Amino acid sequence: MATLQVIGGGRMGAALVAGLLAGGHDRSDLLLVEDDAERRAELQQMFAGVAVHGEPGGASGTVVAVKPSDGEPACRKSASAGTRRLLSVMAGVTLTTLESWVGPDVAVVRSMPNTPSLIGAGVSAVSPGSRAGEDDLRWAEELLAKVGVVVRLPEASLDAVTGLSGSGPAYVFLVAEALIDAGVLAGLPRPVSRLLALHTLAGTGRLLVESGDGPEALRAQVTSPGGTTAAGLRVLESRAVRAAFLDAVMAATERSRAMGEEP
């Protein structure tokens, strides 16, 4: 019997399995559960040596990576099959709901990953349920660390996490679109503008993470007195771009909170 099963072989489930295998997880110790037969065949091709089944098995640990609307049967079935700990990556499904689905014998950890997890460059927050101990949290953190960076937070913070890092990739995609259009406006051919904009974003992200300097210092380094960057930044400040980001993250956080309260 595998000690770990991943329920849902969609984008997030497959990314997790790929991360686990890349991190050296034993293939024979992994069960991937997917209810769509066509997708099961694809997963068998992608992950040779990993068991791919249509129904949950009795693995001691379960990751639930199905859409929130499919979560209840997946959680209930894995609890009846004997799982002891469960990590949910489902957006918006609360710990109280998860615990009501699995019953008193299963430790639950809820997480909020983001889309770059699909290429192993995500950031996730994890929150423990009422029956999850230090070992359960560490187990969840180690799993999610295969697809990115992990922080531990109380569940009450997950709406803010959703507003910042969950929705954050979409804000950056919007910035990318705008920069590409701006390059075209300034006279560059679109493919060239696209290449310059995408690599500016990707390279700047790496520099931010790897340099150890904060964004303020890095920005000061590229802003010479009276220079081109200062002229560009003045326009962004005069259009209140900073305030727009504050409002965007707050609006997404409030929306996440309101969705959590919907029946």
Ligand X SMILES: NC(=O)c1ccc[n+]([C@@H]2O[C@H](COP(=O)([O-])OP(=O)(O)OC[C@H]3O[C@@H](n4cnc5c(N)ncnc54)[C@H](OP(=O)(O)O)[C@@H]3O)[C@@H](O)[C@H]2O)c1
Per the CB < 8 A criterion, the answer to whether 84 and 59 are in contact is no
Does 158 bind ligand X (CB under 6 A)? Our answer is no
Note whether 33 binds ligand X by CB under 6 A: yes
141: contact with ligand X by CB under 6 A: no
Residue 199 lies near ligand X (rule: CB under 6 A): no
* CB closer to ligand X out of 91 and 140: 91
Site string for ligand X, 59-78 (x = CB under 6 A): ------xxxx-x--xx----
What proportions of the chain, in percent to the nearest 5, are helix, strand and coil? 60, 15, 25
Is 197 a binding residue for ligand X by CB under 6 A? The answer is: no
> For residues 30 and 183, which CB has a smaller minimum distance to ligand X in the complex?
30
Which residues are 33's β-sheet partners?
7, 53
What is the Cα–Cα distance from 125 to 113, expressed in whole angstroms?
7
Number of residues engaging ligand X in binding (CB under 6 A)? 26
Distances (CA, A) of 145 to 49, 123, 133, 201, 251: 23, 9, 18, 23, 28
State yes or no: residue 108 binds ligand X (CB under 6 A): no
Nearer to ligand X, 33 or 197 (CB): 33
How big is the CA angle at 84 (ends 7 and 115), to the nearest 5 degrees? 35
Q: Site for ligand X (CB under 6 A): which residue of 5, 83, 114, 253? A: 114
User: Taking the complex as a whole, how short is the minimal distance between the CB of residue 204 and ligand X, in angstroms?
Assistant: 22
Q: Is 125 helix (H, G, I), strand (E, B) or coil?
A: strand
Task: Count CA atoms within 13 Å of residue 110 on its CB side.
Answer: 25
> Which residues sit at the interface with ligand X, rule CB under 6 A?
7-13, 33-36, 39, 65-68, 70, 73-74, 89-91, 113-115, 118
